Amino acid sequence: MDSITRVIETPASVPSPAQPFTYADLIVSYLVQIDVEYIFGIPGGGIEPLYNALARHLRRPEQCATRRLAVNSLLPVRQRDAKPHIKPVIARHEAGAAFMADGYARETGRLGVCCATTGPGATNLITGVASAYADRIPMLVITPQTALPFFGKGGFQESSSDAVDIVGMFEHCTQYNGMVSHPDQLEGKLYTAFLNAFRRPRGPVHLSIPMDILNAPVKGGSRRYQVAQLFRQPRSMDDDAYRALVGALGRSKKQVLFLGGGSRHAIDMITAYAESTGTPMVTTPAGKGWVNAYHPLYRGVFGFAGHPSAYETLADDEVDLVLAVGTALGELSTSGWNERLMSSRLVHISASPEDFARTPMACLHLSGDIKTIFAHLHKDRMVNSVDRNSATSPTAGRGFRRESDAYLPMQVRVYEPEAVADESSPLKPQRLMSELAQRFPRDTRYVVDTGNAFSWVTHYLFLDNVGVQRSSFSFGAMGWAIGAAVGTALGKREHPVVCITGDGSYLMSGQELTVAVAEGLAVIFVVLNDQALGMVKHGQRLGGAEAIGYDLPPVDFAMMARSMGAPGYTIRTVDDLARLDIDTLCQRGGPALLDVYIDPEAVPPLGARVNTLKRQRKKCSTAD
């Protein structure tokens, strides 16, 4: 037996002789093995054994340092600089805990872990878990049950199948979902959960464990699975479909790359391919953050809050192939399943073949690791047999930078470009987006909430740094960005994080600011204050619906932040923004909040979404 195996078979945190090694301790030891740094949640009676195990673990962090050193050779490079302990982060609401685990997983590539107690603790998690499921974020969710002998007896917050069936509730928003009904099942089910979290399509997994099993001492030997190996992803592809793609590209006269959020790990190879072939790039809203907005081949976003230049690029009659890469092609990514996009010109490339169910009209489907596919395309020098115009240097894509006075990329056409330089008060949200992009450091992470914030950012926030803009609009949970920003900051403390949210979302989840205060995180919360549920308000107006239910009361969010221990600033004009010392805000070792009063009559670019709703209403009335 080699030294690595010997260390893996040693528990990460060995309790004292008076305290037996429990199954909760065993779970912690596995999380140590894969370099989990945080468990996000809220304690309670049912989940108490897991927190007890964490407390024992924290008293002996030196015992897991050797273990981490030994397993590091099995882990991806990004996981090798972990801290030598797992820290509980106490959220203010369980949905916030799930959002934090989501943000942490996106920033680090590690597994996000969250937990809650029985009953309402578990049900509060579900919105955050469903959001991660829609966005395919690897997450381990742990909830407890009342002790097995008390199932069906009406215990306090009972969550068994005889009461409020928590396992049943998680069934349709997880990649794996199970209850441990015997101690001997726990390791196998935990291994299976890890496997399914990272097996495509990735996503959250859920284990429900009765309290008496969590507390039970581990008897006999443990299997000690080497779970770190599970995170090695195979670099494979469908060879026959790849050869068909090569043939199609050879016959093609003009292509467009249509990039979704699943392109993120392959963006360098995709960009190199685009540059060497002169192929324009269009993105979905989720894919926008993975392309340099100032790249001369980038044409903007197609879909929700998209750009006219992107629509024109895809509508070009000369385009005979659209390579849709790393996108599930849902409503917001396709501008309501636009027929110009969803046509026989489409080549759908995805690591998750499940996505192909939405594109029966495509001329070709290719499943496999996207980075591998584009590495082969670039290596095979497909460009030699294809006529291309304006090819650029294959190494230039990472170097294009925004000029200091450039509010907008020259190659992307937006609606109302004049508003980006508007000096009037109240502040135009278009101007605010440009100011944020210019004033914050290049390595700032922008975490964007559902609602009008998402539409303004998608259309007007342009960044020349790849991978620093995150959003979660698949499921559309308001308040996601607030918790996700905290998780993002915990993932990489050296980078400032800007959370762009609306006043409606902040009123739902703003209490998570106190977590950023407690953890000393440089998160700048930017609240778009228009005293309304803005997307509802403008959607009703644009769609011809009744004007109802969107008003919010006046709230002083800056004062609210100060009451929670963070500095708050009221912003009404461009000059107010200019007076902020951004460097100090980013380096102070704690959060701050900008209460930004935006023009409530500024109309967000919601046309595609409104048109889709109109079509749906028309079909409903026709069906009636």
Q: Residue 502: which H helix or E strand, with range? A: strand 497-502
- List, in order, residues 6 or more apart from 63 with CB less than 8 Å away: 12, 13, 14
The angle subtended at Cα 180 by Cα 179 and Cα 181, nearest 5°, is 105
Give the pLDDT score at 542. 86
**Nearest to residue 431, comparing CAs of 573, 536, 607?**
573
Rounded Cα gap, residues 248 and 289, in angstroms: 29
Rounded Cα gap, residues 485 and 487, in angstroms: 5
Kindly report the length of the chain.
624
The pLDDT tens digits of the residues spanning 349-408 come to: 999 999 999 999 999 999 999 999 999 998 876 444 444 444 444 444 445 766 655 679
- Identify the sign of the CA torsion 161, 165, 168, 170: negative
Distance of CA 417 to the CA centre of its chain: 29
Distance of CA 512 to the CA centre of its chain: 18
Contact 42, 117 (CB under 8 A): yes
- Per DSSP (E only), the strands in 506-601 are 523-529, 568-571, 592-597
Rounded Cα gap, residues 358 and 339, in angstroms: 13
- List, in order, residues 6 or more apart from 138 with CB less than 8 Å away: 105, 111, 112, 197, 198, 202, 203, 204
Contact 447, 103 (CB under 8 A): yes
Pairing of strands 568-571, 592-597: parallel
Mean pLDDT by runs of 10 across the 624 residues of the chain is 33 57 94 94 95 93 44 40 78 98 96 96 97 96 88 73 86 96 94 92 96 91 71 82 94 96 94 94 95 96 95 95 95 90 95 93 96 90 48 48 73 94 94 95 96 94 92 90 98 96 97 98 97 89 89 96 98 96 93 97 74 51 54
CA-to-CA dists, residue 494 to 106, 488, 589, angstroms: 16, 11, 10
Give the pLDDT score at 152. 72
**Residue 219 CB neighbour total at 10 angstroms:** 10
* DSSP code per residue over 250-308: HH-S-EEEEE-GGGGGGHHHHHHHHHHHT--EEE-TTTGGGS-TT-TTEEEE-STT--H
Phi and psi torsions of 90, nearest 5°: -95, 110
Q: In the structure encoding, which two tokens stand for residue 138, read together? A: 């690897």
Q: pTM higher than 0.95 for the full model?
A: no
- List, in order, residues 6 or more apart from 414 with CB less than 8 Å away: 300, 307, 308, 408, 420, 459, 460
- List, in order, residues 6 or more apart from 132 with CB less than 8 Å away: 98, 101, 102, 105, 112, 139, 203, 204
Contact 195, 232 (CB under 8 A): no
SS3 388: coil
Domains of the chain: 3-231 (3.40.50.970), 239-399 (3.40.50.1220), 417-609 (3.40.50.970)
Rounded Cα gap, residues 533 and 538, in angstroms: 9
Contact 172, 221 (CB under 8 A): no
Q: In the structure encoding, which two tokens stand for residue 622, read together? A: 């026709």
Q: Residue 200: which H helix or E strand, with range? A: none
Give the pLDDT score at 347. 97
DSSP one-letter code for 486: H
Contact 434, 497 (CB under 8 A): no
Give the pLDDT score at 392. 46
Give the pLDDT score at 68. 42
- List, in order, residues 6 or more apart from 61 with CB less than 8 Å away: 84, 85
- List, in order, residues 6 or more apart from 248 with CB less than 8 Å away: 321, 347, 363, 364
Rounded Cα gap, residues 291 and 303, in angstroms: 16
